[in-house]
Every structure is written in structure tokens, then in C-alpha cells.
Chain A
Amino acid sequence: MLPALAGPMSGMFAQQQAIDVIAANLANVNTTGYRARHVEFHDLLQQHLPLGASSGRAVDEPLGGAGRSSGLLDLLTAGVRVGAIAHSFEPGRVIEDADPYHLAIEGEGFFVVQTVDGGAAYTRDGSFKLDSIGRLVTANGDVVLPETRIPADATDIRIDDAGLVMARLVAEDGTEFDVVVGEVQLARFVNPHGLAALGGNLFSATDASGDPIVGYSASDGLGRIRAGALETSNVDIAEQMTAMLIGQRAYGLSARVLQSLDEMLGLANNLRR
């Protein structure tokens, strides 16, 4: 690749990634507990040996008098790169539904689940259900920790705001009684922005996020569990559409300058026909 074309290429590539992220956000606008992502751009530098270097001036002498020139043999901007793709952990809206296993978190915190490979993962998606052996699991079938097993003969299962899972059982003598069969815990992180996305609405802890602080609903700065409700995604459609327009225009400008550089190289190639 000609080095001249790498700068506008980097611009097109970075804007393409930004548009891809926006597309994913918009695709997940109705995904329970989805956290919107955004791209952070950083400039790329390259060493530059200017044409004027042989003009007899000292190499590190600042130029341009009163202007802010940065001197010869300097680093020049060569393009752009995607520095980070960050999640936004702003809360989504909490919408009531009648399902007793559906939970939403009002405030900070994540549900703790066990993935198929045995590790712990964290999610804001509380669309839980029961599996064949009565365990509370996520829509993907990952077990909610600590494991809650609901007896097969239990009726009137409820999860209260403290995360207690209660069920009504029938004793041998025929009387009914309520019993706590489990408790849903929450975890929070000192730096949720450091969490790594695993896909499927799951996150895992990293060195940057710190270890999880696990506790019960509405304690230790954790949010409160709302049963019979789900949290929507936190994608703001107007914001995404604006970002898409900006990204599209920036892509177009980089494409235009790439085309122009290409025409210039064409002229150079045809200097002598």
C-alpha cells in the first residue's frame, strides 16, 4: 500500500468501526439490559522528514517566529485509530411485566451468573426462567448465582425487592406454608467501564474493573431488585442517529480525499506518456 493512501484509509476504517458499533446499538435497541457502546478515536503519529531539512537550519530550532511550530524532524499526524470501544453504563428504563421471574435492577449492579464453562459472568439482563430441574437461569440457560432450586411442588413463587425467592409449599398435614428457597445476589464493580463484554449481554471481570463486590439488593451501594419488571437497553435512538450522520459524513470526507490523492498519483504516473 502506498503510504499516502494509509491516512485516509485509517479514517475510513475508524469511521466504519464507529458505524458498525452504532449499527449494533440500534439493532439492540429492544434487547433487555443491553449497554450501548461508543467508539473513542485517537490520533496516530508518524516520523516526518521534511523537505526543508537541508535548508541549513538547526534541526530542533523552532520555526515560524510567533507561530506555534513544533520544529523539524517532528511527529506528524498520519491518521486515526480506534483507541477504545467503551460501554455506557447509564441505566435503561424499567418496564413492568407480569412474569414473576423477570427482574430489573434500579441503580448500580449486575446479576451474577455461571457460564457453561464454569466461570462467573455479570449481566443486567434479568429475563430469568426456570430450567428442567427448577433452577433459576438466564434466557441462555446460564445458572443465576447463588444457585436457587425451586422444589417441583412449590406454588406461588415470588421474588421480593430484597432478592429473596419465596415459594409456597404444602406440608404433609395439608397446611400451606411460605419458605425462602433462595436469594438473588448482586455484584458491582469499582470501575464497570473496565468490564470485558462476553456477548449475550454478559460481562466478565478484568484487572481494570477490579474484583466484584457481591452483596444483597439495596446494600453496599448496590441497586434494588424490582421483580416483575425488565430493564430496557440504554440506547438513545436520537443520539445514535446523530452519531451515525456524523460518522457517515466523516467517512465520505476521507473517501473523497483518498480519491483525490489517487487522482494526483495518476497524474504523476502519466507525467511522460
Chain B
Amino acid sequence: MLRGIYSAASAMLTAFQRQEQTAANLANINTPGYKRDAFVARSAPSITEVRNFEGLLSVAYPTRPFPLKVGEVGTGVFNDPVITDFSAGDVRETGRELDLALIGPGYYQMRSTEGATFYSRDGQFSRDSAGRLVDAHGNFVVGNDGPIVVGFGSVAVEADGSVYADGQPVGQLWIREFPVDAPLRKIGGGDFIPVDPDLAPTFSEGATIVQQGAIEYSNVDPSRAVAEMLSASRSYEAAQRILQMSDAILERSVNDIGRV
């Protein structure tokens, strides 16, 4: 019976974590380039129950194989670590010259001021005091020839990522793609790095298109998030009921069994 309490408690815990995750996704519903995180629930290893008075039974049923299996009993549930959903978010027009949305699987290759490389789909760029194309934290947007310098004039970006400053070509955005099964890790601020540092991203012509004057928003779907929220809340409630019932049964066995 104690096992029932622990199983129910593990169900409550996982439902609560799912709810926290939904809350974090909903908080980022307007964050450009944000990718939804989701838990995958897994059942905890199950236990095979065995009838353990085999000596007695072997006398009664000499042909039965032993030990006699009763069946499998689950021990609860836990959340696997987070899976990030990399599907595309909504693209919204902003009309701002340095807002660039990626349509397709690619990422902008970025370089931090310390020289570290990472990847992002948040296309809210601006220029720094040296005229380089940077993100909100001052990290550089990398082109085919190092950080892209757009200067201070008008900027045009073509669908293939070619950047023109005042009509002069200044480089091409170094858009990289990752294999579908390659794990990426979030590092905050909408930025990603591959979990395997040796993984070299690829580029395939025309797979990713750049749209100027637009931003890709998060891929959090509010109706789906609300459904997840209700589901987590109700499974929490159900697990809580089971825990209470297990507790009531335990109470009976402790206080009532054996009472004359």
C-alpha cells in the first residue's frame, strides 16, 4: 500500500513539473525565436511480483513452474529531461529594416564578443557603434567573411541571405542547419549550441530563406498550451485523490484490521 502512495506522489510530482513547464512556455509566448520545451513522461521501472510460498505450492501442484509470477506492478512515473520542439514559430511583419526572419530549418551563426560561436533564430538585430550587425546583447552576426558590417546606411537583405549596405554587397549571412536528430542545447537569450561540440552544421542552398522586415516569434501555441495546462492540472488532481485513497486504506489496515 505504501507503494501506491509513492506511485501517486510521483504522478503528482510529474504533473506539477509539466505545469511549471507550460507556465514557462506561456511566459515566452511573445519571445522571438523561442522554441517550446516539453517533458516526456516515462513510467518508472516495473516490479515483477512473485508468490513467495513456493514450497507449499510445489507440494500441491508439482507440475507448476516456479517461481509463480503474479504479474508486473508499476512503481510510478517520472519526467524525462526536456525535449525542445524545434518547429517554426509565427512570422510577423514588423517593417523594421534589421528584423530578419528565417523561413526553413536554418540558424544564424553568431559570435559572442569573447569569440564563442553559437546559433540563434532570434532575428531582432541592430548595429553597434562600429556598424556591425549585432543582436540585443552585442553578439555579432557572422557572414561568409566574419562578422557582417552593415555600416550606417540603408540595409537590404535578400532571400538567400546576401546583405547589401547602401546597395553594395557586404557579405552573406552564414546560415547553418543541423541534422534533425542532432541534440541542441539552450543557453538562454534564445541561443543554442549543439550538445556535441564537434558537430559541424551544414548548409544546403535554398533550404532556408531570409525575410527582411519580419521576426519569427515563439512556436508556443496558446490553445495547445491551455490544453496541456488543463491536462496537467486534472492528472495532478486525480493522483492526489489516489494518494488520499491509499492513505485511507492504509489507515484501515493499521487501525481496523485485527480489531475485534
Contacts and interface: CB of A to CB of B under 8 A. Distances in A.
Contacts of B232: 260
Interface string A231-273: 0000000000000001101100110111011011001100110
A74 B81 contact: yes
Contact of B84 (A10, A70, A79): A70
Interface in B75-126: 78-84, 86, 95-96, 124, 126
Contacts of B138: 208
A10 B27 CA distance: 7
Interface in A24-65: 40-45, 48, 50-52, 55, 60, 62-65
A258 B217 CA distance: 23
Chain B's interface: helix, strand, loop or mixed, by majority?
Answer: mixed
Nearest to A14: B27
Contacts of A52: 42, 78-81
Interface string B160-184: 0000000000000000000011111
Q: Contact residue range for chain B?
A: 35 or more
A43 B189 contact: yes
A11 B222 CA distance: 14
Given A250-B30, A254-B23, A76 B83 contact: no
A77 B186 contact: yes
A205 to B, nearest CB: 10
Contact of B19 (A45, A70, A260): A260
A268 B86 CA distance: 34
A249 B230 CA distance: 17
B83 A264 contact: no
A74 B185 CA distance: 8
B219 interface: no
Nearest to A206: B129
| Nearest 8 CB-CB pairings of A with B | A11-B27, A210-B129, A51-B78, A41-B31, A7-B23, A80-B27, A8-B23, A77-B24
Interface of A: 4, 7-8, 10-11, 14-15, 18, 40-45, 48, 50-52, 55, 60, 62-80, 83-84, 86, 88, 90, 190-191, 193-194, 207-210, 221, 246-247, 249-250, 253-254, 256-258, 260-261, 263-264, 267-268, 271-272
Given A43-B31, A43-B186, A69-B80, 17 more contacts: A7-B23, A11-B26, A11-B27, A43-B28, A51-B10, A52-B79, A62-B183, A68-B180, A76-B24, A80-B24, A190-B130, A194-B129, A247-B30, A250-B26, A260-B229, A261-B20, A264-B236
